[in-house]
Structure 1
Amino acid sequence: MHIVVLYGTESGNAEDVAKGIQREFRDLDVEIVNMADAAPDVFTPEPLYLIACATHGGGELPGFAQFLHDDLLEIGPDLSGVRYAMFGLGDTSYDERYNRGAKQFDALLTGLGAERVGPFGEHDVMTRQLPAAVGVAWAREVLDTVDV
């Protein structure tokens, strides 16, 4: 199975998660794609998408993730058959805005017909855990729930 790890980042933590997943699962076909380089047609039914998305500032998506989000919203493609899992990176000190970026992206994808699989993963910077370690553990949980 082809796995696409799509990431949106400002500080590099979501990229670290993506690279950690690729290293951990090197026996699988894992491709990393930065949302900065992705167009709405990145989503096709064949791969499983593992999406790591940070929340920036006061609850916004990272800049390039916002562009992809807005393009998907404007075009409104039918994403039926697309399977993805979502991992958010945020800071619980922002209360209701914690992981808002990933939650926005998640809502958009399901609204376009994509199916979320596995648990919604979360990393809280306040725990001082390494984002990549938490992300790899989440990816392992996701992959245990799907056929790879």
Structure 2
Amino acid sequence: MAAVILYGTETGTGELVADAIADVLAADYDPSIYDMAEYAAEDLDTDDFLVVVCSTYGEGELPSSALPFADELDEEKPDLTGMRFSVFGMGDTVYDDTFNRGGEIMAEKLTALGAVEVGEHYRHDASSAEKPAKAAEAWAERLKPVIDEA
């Protein structure tokens, strides 16, 4: 099974996290990594396992690189029945009410189109001492058995 990793980022941390996840999944799942700004909704394949890496920007919005993909999902409404995905979200608990909202928005959009979220929806906290890429590596290790359940 192939893994497709899509990331949405404002500052580039999402790309670093996506790379860390890809390194862990590389041996078993031949992951492909794409910036959401450069990925078309029509390219989603329900046979792939989708990993979404998404930061939160502003007052709980999607980062700028995620907006084109999110808008296209809303406009095209592809049937994602049968697709399984997992989310690694990034945010900061300083923003109490909107903490990690970017990842949650993407999960809501995908499930509304028929995809099923599986595994742990990770919510990284930028206010913690935990480095995002290290957290992503550990999360990706826990994700492997979930991917294999297909």
* TM-score category of the 2 structures, normalised to the smaller one: over 0.9
Which stretch has the larger CA shift, 137-146 or 27-36?
137-146
Distance, in Å, in 2 between the alignment partners of 1:74 and 1:144 is 33
Aligned partner of 2:95 in structure 1 is 94
Distance between the aligned counterparts of 1:79 and 1:25, measured in 2? 23
Q: Whole-Å Cα distance in 2 between the matches of residues 9 and 19 of structure 1? A: 13
Residues 1-148 of structure 1 aligned to structure 2 (within 5 Å): 1-28=1-28, 29-147=30-148
Question: How many aligned positions are there?
Answer: 148
Letter of the 2:96 counterpart: D
Q: CA shift at 1:21, angstroms?
A: 1.4
1:7 deviates by: 0.5
Q: Deviations over 1:114-135 (max 9, x none)?
A: 0111010111000031111111
Aligned with 1:127: secondary structure? coil
Aligned CA-pair RMSD = 1.3
Cα offset for 1:24?
Answer: 2.4
Alignment gaps of 5+ in structure 1: none
Q: Kindly provide the amino acid, as one letter, of the partner of residue 86 in structure 1.
A: V
Counterpart AA for 1:21 = I
The answer (yes or no) to whether the contact 1:89–1:99 under 8 Å persists in 2 is: yes
What is the TM-score of this pair, normalised by structure 1? Answer: 0.94
Q: Distance in 2 between matches of 1:141 and 1:27?
A: 15
- Residue 143 of structure 1 and its aligned partner are, at CA, apart by 1.6
TM-score by length of 2: 0.93
